[in-house]
Amino acid sequence: MSLSYEDVLAKYEPVWGLETHVELGTVSKMFCGCSTEFGAEPNTHTCPVCLGLPGALPVVNEVAIESTIKIGLALNCSIASWCRFARKNYFYPDMPKNYQISQYDEPLCFDGYIDVEVEGQTYRVGIERVHMEEDTGKNTHVGTSGRIHGAEYSLVDFNRAGIPLIEIVTKPVPGCGALAPEVAKAYTAALRDILRALGVSDVRMEQGSLRCDVNTSLNVPGAEWGTRTETKNVNSLRSVERAVRSEMIRQAGLLDAGTRIKQETRHFSETTGDTRPGRSKEEATDYRYFPEPDLVPVAPDAEWIERLRAGLPELPAARRTRIIASLGLTNDEIQQMANAGVVDLVGETVELGAPAAEARNWWQGYVAQKANEREVDAAELPITPAHIARVIALVADGSLSTALGRQAVDGVLETGNDVDVVVAEKGLKVVSDTGALQAAADEAIAANPDVAQKVRDGKVAAVGALVGSVMKATRGQADAAAVRAILLERLGVPE
């Protein structure tokens, strides 16, 4: 029997840490001019450099260096004035060279932090290092299991090999207690938002451009930190949270039984939400790192760094603080928005000119409901602050009723089109022509003589069926209260 999460916390304290790999959004690879475009035919984006053919000479992509420095600055890191690339030697058929060009003891950026907020409390997550390396090729394992274990053989596509990859490593984060999984998730979300704001990566987790390895350990309060495990390839925010939680529960079960935790690499299953053992962790020295002789050192001068710093956009945390302050909301209202995951969306909608109350209503109400139905975050829906701001404007000027606004939102969610396109295609328009409504009311009365008689006999509530009939005839484009009034008037029944 596995322990409950509460059982785990009653006896142990977690320490977590994340290693996050981010593919940069450069158009060419890290050390050669091959395209980084996603989804190309296998092995069509390769050359002697990224295939590791003899005599090929890698040269560093300048934009990749600048992007890395920007990431370092945004994460409050120091930037190395001089650092080198290193060869990481290993045998695994995802790199044709039998080594990966990476950085070892001289990362370009080091010793930073970001602050994340969970349930009203701020947690500082230290950043150990930000270093540059190259992505690996993509293996497809062929065999009955479809997994690496038990595969008969594997097929390799080297298009991804050599795409600039940044590894961002946190310091170990103790002191989060029960919220450790949530803080790890919030850190990942904050990092994703920063990377997006910097414009250095498209950060599409589903395409693998942001991948996390989750380190977790447990210790008895007051004791030294426990042995950690590393769960590889955790590729969504929700999975980061689940991976920390499930490792805590698994490790606590072992510790309770007096079993030592083995330092190892584990794999995360998106379907079951738990981890299973992978390769046993090789010692760092096994990679036989040494300075990459083909690449000269990177030595950014202060002037270059300051120019990059001056060009940084407003970062999400500062932006959020500024927007929240401008909304003039209570702490409770802000908390409700945070719980619905719509703070930034509301803020951006207000920046586009919508009233704060309306923006909150739409995001926290109808859109959040749609997000729940689809089991995603509101931010992941194909609807943007620009869409909602437009819907709000159309409702405000009377072009749409609230009900029609909702239909417009539905249309955007289905098609991703602009609101005006959806409105035109669906023919969404408030029918305010009284003559047309009276004609529709008369038709409804004629078509439902029994219902009409009931209303005339005093059963006013029965008019609802006739209202429905008129609304149907006008495809929901009339104001229901106005329709009701017209029907009662035509039937000679006082309100």
Residue 489 CA neighbour count, 13 Å, CB half: 11
CA–CA–CA angle 228, 126, 266 (5° rounding): 25
Decide whether 26 or 216 has the Cβ nearer to other proteins.
26
Placement of tokens 């044709």 in the chain: 96
Minimum CB separation of residue 58 from other proteins in Å reads 9
We find the least distance from the C-beta atom of residue 77 to other proteins, in angstroms, to be: 19
Nearest-Å Rg of the Cα atoms of the chain is: 29
Q: Taking the complex as a whole, how short is the minimal distance between the CB of residue 208 and other proteins, in angstroms?
A: 17
Cα gap 200→452, rounded to integer Å? 65
Beta carbon nearer to other proteins, 109 or 440: 109
State in Å, rounded, how far the first CA of the chain is from the last one: 65
Residues 6+ apart with CB under 8 A from 413: 370, 381, 382, 383
**Phi then psi dihedrals of residue 131, to 5 deg:** -130, 165
CB-nearer residue toward other proteins: 148 or 357: 148
Q: By C-beta, is 172 or 277 nearer to other proteins?
A: 277
Tell me whether residue 6 or residue 41 sits nearer to other proteins (CB atom): 41
**Least distance (Å) from other proteins to the CB of residue 267?**
11
Q: Is 281 helix (H, G, I), strand (E, B) or coil?
A: coil
Which residue, among 402, 328, 404, 413, has the nearest Cα to 368 in the 3D structure?
A: 413
Smaller CB separation from other proteins, 153 or 257: 153
Rounded to a whole number of angstroms, the minimum distance from the CB of residue 31 to other proteins is 8
Write out the two tokens for 255. Answer: 């510790």
Considering the complex, state which of residue 102 and residue 170 has its C-beta at the smaller distance from other proteins. 102
- Return the number of the residue (282 or 420) whose C-beta is nearest other proteins: 282
Q: Which of 100, 97, 99 is nearest to 48 (CA)?
A: 97
- Look up tokens 């150990």; give the residue: 128
Q: How far apart are CA 124 and CA 115, in angstroms?
A: 4
Q: Which residues have CB under 8 Å from 207's CB, separation 6+?
A: 38
Cβ proximity to other proteins: between 16 and 104 the closer is: 104
Backbone angles phi, psi at 328, to 5 degrees: 65, 45
The continuous run of DSSP H or E covering 329 comes out as: none
**Contacting residues toward other proteins, per CB under 8 A:** 26-28, 32-35, 41-48, 51, 59-65, 82, 84, 89, 91-93, 139-142, 148-158, 279, 286, 288, 291, 293, 295-300
What own/partner pairs with CB < 8 Å and gap ≥ 24 does 95-101 have? Answer: 95/52, 95/136, 95/137, 95/161, 96/50, 96/51, 96/52, 96/137, 96/158, 96/161, 97/52, 98/52, 100/133, 100/134, 100/136, 101/30, 101/31, 101/58, 101/133, 101/134, 101/292, 101/295
Nearer of residues 65 and 130 to other proteins, judged by Cβ: 65
Q: How near is the Cβ of 70 to other proteins at its closest, in Å?
A: 14
> How far apart, in whole angstroms, are the C-alpha atoms of residue 449 and residue 338?
52
Residue 221, Ramachandran bin (φ over 0: left; ψ between -120 and 50: alpha; else beta): beta
Least separation in angstroms between CB 103 and other proteins? 13
Separation CA 487–CA 443 (nearest Å): 10
Pick the closer one to other proteins by CB: 85 or 363.
Answer: 85
Instruction: Report the residue count for the chain.
Output: 495
What is the nearest approach in angstroms of other proteins to the Cβ of residue 120? 42
Amino acid (one-letter) located at 485: A
- Closest distance between other proteins and the C-beta of residue 91, in Å? 5
The H or E element that residue 154 is part of is strand 153-157
CA–CA dist 338, 119 (Å, integer): 9
CA distance 183 to 119: 10
Least separation, in Å, of the C-beta of 293 and other proteins? 7
Q: Which is nearer to other proteins, 59 or 421 (CB)?
A: 59
Q: Closest distance between other proteins and the C-beta of residue 422, in Å?
A: 37
Least Å distance between CB 95 and other proteins?
A: 12
